[in-house]
Amino acid sequence: MKLWQKSTTAQDDRSLATELFTVGNDRHWDLRLASFDVRGSLAHAEMLTHVGVITTDEFEQIKAGLNDILAEISRGEFQIEAHVEDVHSQVEKTLTERIGEAGKKLHTGRSRNDQVLVDLKLYLKDELVQIAAQVIELFDRWQELSEHHKDDLLPGYTHFQLAMPSSFGLWFGAYAESLVDDMEALVAAYKIVDKNPLGSGAGYGSAFPLNRSMTTELLSFGEMNYNSVYAQMTRGKSEKAVLSAIASVAATISRFSYDVCLYMSQQWGYISFPDSLTTGSSIMPHKKNPDIFELIRARCSRIQAAPNEITMLCNNLPSGYHRDMQLTKDITFPAIDSIRECLSMLTYALRDVQVRTGILEDKVFDHLFSVEEINKQVVNKVPFRDAYRSVGDSIHQGTFAPSRHLSHTHEGSISRLCTAEIRDMMERTYAPIRPDTSIR
């Protein structure tokens, strides 16, 4: 019998089919919410004691029972039974079986609607902190590579055509700085989900004298979702904010992975990786395929589609809770898993990236230095358009013979990467959700 059922009528085939369809994947996904559900229940029970809805003795029983369940979760022993709908029902059922009547009072003043919101927001906050930490690891690695290879030149391209001299320092450093903006998105998403919905009930509050400020403090939320109707409207909106943030990270590492696939090809051969980080061919013994980076690129494309999936799921729904929202887990949880796996794999692979030096010594790259020659003439008082035509004519006539000496001094150029400035910007951006410095 479900916790919400009003009779003990036996299930027939139709009701069983309904249950299987409506429960969906909740039993699977809800296991990762279990510890957060217990945390929310502990805070709710303490608040109910504070406002006099349950007694101190009842709270002590509830607290002890919930802490036992929390210990089981940490040991990996907690399971959601086949006939139980979700983690909320399982926690309450287990608690009541163990401590008796006091367990039946735990749900006073709340709904599964605000309960799942609390679980999700606590879970999403935790995941954002961990994703941000992984972003920092990748950022550090890109900055290290940028400094180490700051003097190793690399062709720069526009339209897939040779454009101007670049460097591995600029290339790695560009992606490091891209992560700063991605961190801005992660922090913004964190701030959106860092608001307590507990006490909004089914979306219309409660007649009980709940102390929502107390549960906000107990659960370490930075703020409260004050309006009970809006608290329910954050379901889907919170997930979309998080998915949009991780999609930003995905866009950065997907683009880098595309570069890697190009730069590893035999025609270019700018970078390479050990055999252990590449794959071979069943019929072509010369192949070293960049499968890791192709899969990161593909998985990140799927991640970038996730916010749109949430939009299509939630679009045109009126206020109030709707069962459609159950499916946000099917979209959000796999995307979170995927971005974390991609970040981990990319950071791991970059430990062994090998950069080819002396690339621009090849005459095929002569034309990369055309702008350098124009600039030299301009410095010597030749009007820019005259210098442009002069160098263009020499290229057309096949007489262009550039100097390969570069002198770029402005901020963010080959000779001035501003690595320290970018790091300072990242540290300031990351601070709100860094575990040792965050407000909450």
For the chain, give the mean pLDDT. 92
**Claim to verify: residue 130 and residue 29 sit in the same structural domain:** no
Residue 264's CATH number: 1.20.200.10
The answer for residues whose C-beta is within 8 angstroms of residue 356's C-beta and 6 or more apart is 269, 270, 271, 272
Amino acid of residue 392? G
pLDDT at 403: 86
Among 9-18, 20-29, 382-391, the range of highest mean pLDDT: 382-391
Interval 135-158: pLDDT, tens: 999 999 999 999 999 999 999 999
Task: Using the 3D structure, point to which of 360, 382, 416 is the last residue of a domain.
Answer: 360
Is residue 20 over pLDDT 70? no
Domain that holds residue 258: 113-151+166-360
**Claim to verify: residue 354 and residue 372 sit in the same structural domain:** no
**Claim to verify: residue 264 and residue 389 sit in the same structural domain:** no
**Claim to verify: residue 80 and residue 206 sit in the same structural domain:** no
In a domain, 156, yes or no: no
Is residue 438 over pLDDT 70? no
The b/e string for 11-26 (b: 16+ C-beta within 10 A; e otherwise) is eeeeeeeeeeeebeeb
Is residue 66 over pLDDT 70? yes
Number of domain units in the chain: 3
Pick from 264, 265, 282: nearest CA to 273: 264
Lowest model confidence (mean pLDDT) among 264-268, 420-424, 428-432: 264-268
**Claim to verify: residue 220 and residue 266 sit in the same structural domain:** yes
In a domain, 423, yes or no: no
Residue 97's CATH number: 1.10.275.10
In a domain, 426, yes or no: no
The answer for residues whose C-beta is within 8 angstroms of residue 309's C-beta and 6 or more apart is 331
Is residue 196 over pLDDT 90? yes
**Claim to verify: residue 275 and residue 335 sit in the same structural domain:** yes
Structure tokens at 426: 């990242």
**Claim to verify: residue 67 and residue 179 sit in the same structural domain:** no
Task: Using the 3D structure, point to which of 331, 360, 389 is the last residue of a domain.
Answer: 360
**Claim to verify: residue 69 and residue 177 sit in the same structural domain:** no
Kindly indicate the confidence band of residue 12, based on its pLDDT and cuts at 50, 70 and 90. low
In a domain, 160, yes or no: no
Is residue 400 over pLDDT 80? yes
pLDDT at 13: 64
Lowest model confidence (mean pLDDT) among 45-59, 169-183, 405-419: 405-419
In a domain, 216, yes or no: yes
Lowest model confidence (mean pLDDT) among 18-27, 235-244, 359-368: 18-27
Kindly indicate the confidence band of residue 322, based on its pLDDT and cuts at 50, 70 and 90. confident
In a domain, 82, yes or no: yes
pLDDT at 408: 85
In a domain, 56, yes or no: yes
**Claim to verify: residue 45 and residue 32 sit in the same structural domain:** yes
In a domain, 226, yes or no: yes
**Claim to verify: residue 205 and residue 267 sit in the same structural domain:** yes
Among 5-14, 239-248, 270-279, 364-373, the range of highest mean pLDDT: 239-248
CA dihedral (213, 217, 219, 224) in degrees, to 10, reads 40
Task: Using the 3D structure, point to which of 306, 341, 360 is the last residue of a domain.
Answer: 360
Q: Please give, one letter per residue, the 3-state secondary structure of the chain.
A: CCCCCCCCCCCCHHHHHHHHHHHCCHHHHHHHHHHHHHHHHHHHHHHHHHCCCCCHHHHHHHHHHHHHHHHHHHCCCCCCCCCCCCHHHHHHHHHHHHHHHHHHHCCCCCCHHHHHHHHHHHHHHHHHHHHHHHHHHHHHHHHHHHHHCCCCEEEEEECCEEEEEEEHHHHHHHHHHHHHHHHHHHHHHHHHHCEECCCCCCCCCCCCCCCHHHHHHHCCCCEECCCHHHHHHCCCHHHHHHHHHHHHHHHHHHHHHHHHHHHHCCCCCCEECCHHHCECCCCCCCCCECHHHHHHHHHHHHHHHHHHHHHHHHCCCCCCCCHHHHHHHHHHHHHHHHHHHHHHHHHHHHHHCEECCCHHHCHHHHHHHHHHHHHHHHHCCCCHHHHHHHHHHHHHHCCCCCCCCCCCCCCCECCECCHHHHHHHHHHHHHHHCCCCCCC
Q: Say how far apart CA 93 and CA 81 lie, in whole Å.
A: 10
Kindly indicate the confidence band of residue 203, based on its pLDDT and cuts at 50, 70 and 90. very high
**Claim to verify: residue 280 and residue 376 sit in the same structural domain:** no
**Claim to verify: residue 343 and residue 385 sit in the same structural domain:** no
